[in-house]
Structure 1
């Protein structure tokens, strides 16, 4: 399968509109984008493409990246930077099946699938399929499994995408703190490519109103506040899950400029091929 990182930034992206911090200025000077989160997965056996999350930057991502429009989509949660690009389906698709979890959120009293169905009921070319976490389903000839993660106060899901013929595996943490349940970690384990939320380095936890949590043996926070992993937390999780290759995504412009463009922080446009025997970077 071919995996393209269309959007690798957090809710404001990098560079952030109206921001003149050193990181945003350096991103502009270097022509680097970290737009709002989205991942494109193409199955070359079926020539079908799956889109994971629909970024508000959908239009620009597809105008500037050489990938086909998706045949199906899956949405991890209802925050606007992962969902509201679905409005771009208007007059663009003949049809777009969208998959999302069927678990009822006690805060919204709706599942992710129900929220999408209600919010975008005017898009008659979009159909919503409710999927049960931990129960694999098929999309674009690939096996998809949603798993609960920890992104309070709303429910959120990570997922795996596996090619049943080659054995290639992509794991995605979803927006999450380090406190991902063991059952979910077991599903995410041993990916060829792991895309993991790493919003800021742990050193910035001192600036969060509630600091950090989930410290490692050296006292370094693996969660920033309550909702997202620190860089150190993301790398710790990747090591635990024995990921062959890890890319840090959903990163914020708050990374200090001397750290913001270092490996393994991802940028928009990266492309990888997973064939079950290894991983190759294409772009």
Structure 2
């Protein structure tokens, strides 16, 4: 199982358009020392010498079957696939309907003759339809897209993998994490999806013990003081593990990772609000990283 992190950023990405903060400037023009460390970390260096966190997406290739599964359709789909030169997907999973995880599906037009798109069948009280319903209705003009509604916590098979959508907490919409397991080797990828720290126990059990965990970590905990709702799910030292109500802090993501006992953890969905000194610390993933799960 070859995992490529196509997009590791939040809804605006890093660098953010029109932003000249120190973090975005560091992404555009990293120091030679930082550039070399990120290169060794597996980051893709842009032609201009910078690094990126584009909108979230993960490519999972099955070397045995030569099939590829895409997790979420980033609006940066075209750029990501050209930049990383990975195979186009045979199937995909959509975790929720926020634009930074779904709007890239339109790229399938005139590009893919057919693709299976797996999404939850659970009706969302906020929208009156499931994620699968929304994908089907919003992209009904794409003849090659076959939406496959899936019941959360019930495994499904695609690309030689077993996938399982798991409920997480990302108000006001229903949202899901995902596990992907190789049916032959047992290699396991776990993705928290966009979520606060208060993940249900049944989901924690499913996510546990992965070879690679991708945990969302929008901002460091100290930035909760700037959120209108502050932070939530504080630890014993009073550190908030949730930013506002719907995203994990870095501290929350790291604590969850410790609990889930993954072989390796990468923090994703990071915003440009990290300070320049923290934004590219080792735990935080950048676009282009690749992992081979045995």
Which bin holds the TM-score, normalised by the shorter protein?
over 0.9
In structure 2, the residue matched to 1:19 is 19
Q: Secondary structure at the match of 1:265?
A: coil
Aligned match of 1:170: 189
- State the alpha-carbon separation in 2 of the partners of residues 82 and 254 from structure 1: 20
3-state secondary structure, aligned to 2:79: helix
Which segments of 5 or more consecutive residues in structure 1 lack a partner in the other structure?
Answer: 276-283
Q: Provide the aligned length of Structure 1 versus Structure 2.
A: 275
Whole-angstrom CA distance in 2 between matches of 1:263 and 1:223: 21
Distance 1:187 1:63 in 2: 33
Match status 1:201 vs 2:226: no
Q: Give structure 2 stretches of 5+ with no counterpart.
A: 31-49
Alpha-carbon separation, structure 2, partners of 1:19 and 1:237: 31
Distance 2:219 2:142 in 1: 36
Query: What secondary structure, in the 3-state scheme, does the structure 2 residue paired with 1:23 have?
Result: helix
TM-score by length of 1: 0.97
Match of 1:115 in 2: 134
Residue 28 (structure 2) pairs with residue 28 (structure 1): yes
How big is the shift at 1:110?
Answer: 0.3
Mapped to 2, the partners of 1:200 and 1:51 lie a distance apart of 25
Partner of 2:87: 68
Distance in 2 (CA, whole Å) between partners of 1:83 and 1:244 is 29
Distance in 2 separating the partners of 1:217 and 1:67? 44
Report deviation, 1:164.
Answer: 1.5
Aligned to 2:158: 139
| Aligned match for 1:184, one of 188, 197, 203 | 203
| Partner deviation per Cα, 1:31-88 (whole Å, 9 max, x = no partner) | 1100000000000010000000000000000111021000000000000000000000
3-state SS of 2:170 partner: coil
Which residue of 1 is the match for residue 47 of structure 2?
A: none
Q: Determine helix, strand or coil for the equivalent of 1:237.
A: helix
Give 1:8 shift.
0.2
| 3-state SS in 2 of match to 1:222 | strand
So what's the TM-score if we normalise by structure 2? 0.93
Determine the structure 2 residue equivalent to 1:270: 289
